Amino acid sequence: MFLESSARKLIPRWEDRARHILAEFRADYPRNFRDGRVRSFVETLRRKSPLFEAAWNEHDVRRREGGLRIFNHPDEGRRAFIQHTFIASERPDYKLVLLVPTASPANRASSK
């Protein structure tokens, strides 16, 4: 999301979505901050992405939310999905995220 330049084309309102995803990540961070791999991951992103660094310093935290997700597919155009997130009660660090195509005009036009 923060280092791959193609994400800026794939995701409408990329900066807003990137900030939102980081805020969701921060909600999970307390469970994993002692893990050296996670700390290294965060430090790498802070060094390589000015947006990540700025957003990290804002300390925004959000719980994961479902809802509409839009993508600009390079061949199929705009695609719309509804995101559903499932969290196991016995393993809150495990999440299953599903993107279900909507019946939006954008998806119907591209499926023909």
d(CA 50, CA 109): 37
What is the per-residue pLDDT for 32? Answer: 83
pTM of structure: 0.80
Query: Which of 76, 79, 57, 60 has the alpha carbon at shortest distance from 68?
Result: 79
Distance between CA atoms of residues 85 and 82, nearest Å: 10
Pick from 5, 70, 4, 55: which is nearest to 25 by CA? 55
Residue 65 neighbours by CB under 8 Å, 6+ apart: 24, 83, 85
- Greatest Cα pair distance, the chain, in angstroms, is 49
Residue 107: pLDDT band (50, 70, 90) is low
pLDDT tens profile 40-78:
999 999 999 999 999 999 999 988 778 899 999 999 999
- Does the pLDDT value for residue 109 go beyond 60? no
